[in-house]
């Protein structure tokens, strides 16, 4: 289990993120910092597709990639695009508590039944689909996955600052994961 660092005021933002787009995201979302005007993205946010999460930040401030569990392994070209063409040098990787990608294997029956009743799939096709993709998207523990994905991104993009964060769906706040 990792320690989550709360950010209640701008002074709570860890030094390595102060005066960076990562620090600004924390200030906008958690500290009600008045919005500045942006004409281009300063940050890439990788976050889960979960409907319970909404970030408070100005328009044009960030590229956002949403995927199950904030797993960017299969969105790497999009990450590279934001860095190369979009000129971003900072990534906020945001997981959240109670993520549906944790214990995905335990949701097999629900997944298959949902595809058969909601999408008209045969049970056989739904089960094959699940078995093919579930191992790719299962993340285990939310915090551990975000930290490991942060390390992977740092190795892949050594000049880019990557911050591991958690979003608490109960209080709608961002927390830094202490590594």
What are the tens digits of pLDDT across the range 4-19?
999 999 999 999 999 9
Q: What is the mean pLDDT of residues 156-166?
A: 98
- Residue 165, strand partner residues: 94, 176
Question: Sign of the CA dihedral 30, 89, 42, 152?
Answer: negative
Instruction: Cite the residue boundaries of each domain of the chain with CATH code 3.40.1050.10.
Output: 3-101+143-178
Q: Quick check: pTM over 0.85?
A: yes
The pLDDT of residue 1 is 79
Q: What is the CATH superfamily name and number for domain 3-101+143-178?
A: Carbonic anhydrase (3.40.1050.10)
- For residue 82, which of 48, 47, 44, 45 has the smallest C-alpha distance? 44
What are the tens digits of pLDDT across the range 56-99?
999 999 999 999 999 999 999 999 999 999 999 999 999 999 99
Question: Which residues, 6 or more positions from 86, have their beta carbon under 8 angstroms from its beta carbon?
Answer: 40, 41, 44, 63
- Residue 161, strand partner residues: 90
Question: Which residues, 6 or more positions from 12, have their beta carbon under 8 angstroms from its beta carbon?
Answer: 5, 6
CB 166 within 8 A of CB 175: yes
């Amino acid at each position: 289990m990792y320690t989550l660092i709360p950010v209640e005021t701008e002074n709570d933002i860890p030094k390595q993120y102060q005066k960076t787009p990562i620090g600004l995201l924390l200030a906008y979302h958690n500290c009600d910092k008045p919005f500045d005007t942006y004409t281009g993205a300063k940050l890439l946010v990788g976050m889960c597709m979960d409907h319970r999460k909404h970030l408070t930040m100005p328009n044009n401030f960030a590229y956002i990639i949403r995927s199950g569990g904030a797993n960017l392994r299969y969105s790497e070209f999009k990450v590279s695009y934001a860095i190369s063409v979009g000129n971003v040098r900072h990534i906020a990787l945001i997981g959240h508590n109670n993520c549906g990608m944790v214990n995905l294997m335990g949701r097999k029956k629900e997944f298959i039944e949902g595809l058969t009743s909601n999408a008209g799939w045969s049970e056989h096709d739904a089960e094959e689909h699940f078995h093919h993709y579930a191992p790719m998207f299962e993340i285990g523990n939310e915090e551990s996955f975000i930290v490991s994905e942060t390390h992977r991104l740092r190795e892949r993009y050594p000049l880019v600052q990557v911050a591991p964060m958690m979003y608490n769906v109960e209080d709608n706040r961002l927390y830094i994961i202490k590594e």
